[in-house]
Chain A
Amino acid sequence: MQTQILNDEALVLQYMNGNEQSLEILIRRHKSKIFTSIFMFLRDQYLAEDLFQETFIKVVRKLRAGQYQEEGKFLPWVMRISHNLCIDFYRKTRRTPQIVTPEGFDIFNVLQFSDGNPENMVIRKQSHERVRAMVDELPVEQKEVVILRHYADLSFKEIAEITNVSINTALGRMRYALINLRKMQMEKQIAL
């Protein structure tokens, strides 16, 4: 089908002109990155489903209202919306992320994205919980950058824009996050 090879901007334009199928393609193209990022922020499957829906309902409203003016940056634009919803949620519920402690997690394995080997699926499901627990222990500023860079696949420049910091600050936060993750691994005496 022709629309399946269109880029995001063309799909956005088609959707704004009334093509409902374009929205479905956009959602299916980006749903994993967006959902994984929301889930890593919230640590709750059901809440993540709710905020995923809320994110795209806002996307629909904004597109209809002509409030999309970020050519070539559909994913970062959606991520900004979902990120703001996550931050609002934190503020409302006071779910402040924890500060780093050496307890409560265990690194299992080095895993790769998009590796479809079914033999490792059980291991991955177990590891997923451990990775999430580890990310949760990072200071909130570092956790934010890790999620947006590693799971949402935004560039450091895009992350800097979303979080209102300089690129060097975003890079520095990511660097300290990786250092802290390494410390956690060392404290657990786990060699990767």
Chain B
Amino acid sequence: MTHNFTPNDLLRFLYRETTHEEDLRIKLWISQDLNAYDLFMQMIHSAKSLNFVPLQPSETSVSIILDYSRQTSQAESHV
């Protein structure tokens, strides 16, 4: 069976940007084509290596923004 997918399609599949129909066809492709399977596994390993716990800005930063917003809002309402 001939597939018209490219490595870029595998990448979209990895990041869940493919349609349901594409999902099914790409899964079939991966299950039937050893090269596609190997490439997809390499992509998974590399992408997983990027994972770490998400970072958070400090509460001070959030407060500074909110204070700025309130102050400028009040200033504008007095104009």
A residues near B (Cβ < 8 Å) are 18, 20, 23-24, 27-28, 31-33, 35-36, 39, 48-49, 52-53, 56-57, 60, 64, 107, 110-115, 121, 124-125, 127-128, 131, 134-135, 146, 149-151, 155-156, 168, 171-172, 174-175, 177-179, 181-182, 185, 192
> Which of B12, B47, B61 is close to A49, meaning CB atoms less than 8 Å apart?
B61
Q: How far is the CA of A173 from the CA of B12 in the complex (A)?
A: 13
B residues near A (Cβ < 8 Å) are 7-8, 11-12, 15, 17, 42-43, 45-58, 60-62, 64-66, 68-70, 72-73, 76
Q: 17 extra interchain contacts, Cβ-Cβ under 8 A, other than A36-B55, A113-B52, A134-B50?
A: A31-B57, A39-B55, A49-B58, A60-B68, A110-B49, A115-B53, A121-B53, A128-B53, A131-B50, A146-B50, A151-B54, A155-B15, A156-B17, A172-B8, A174-B11, A178-B47, A181-B49
Q: How far is the CA of A52 from the CA of B48 in the complex (A)?
A: 26
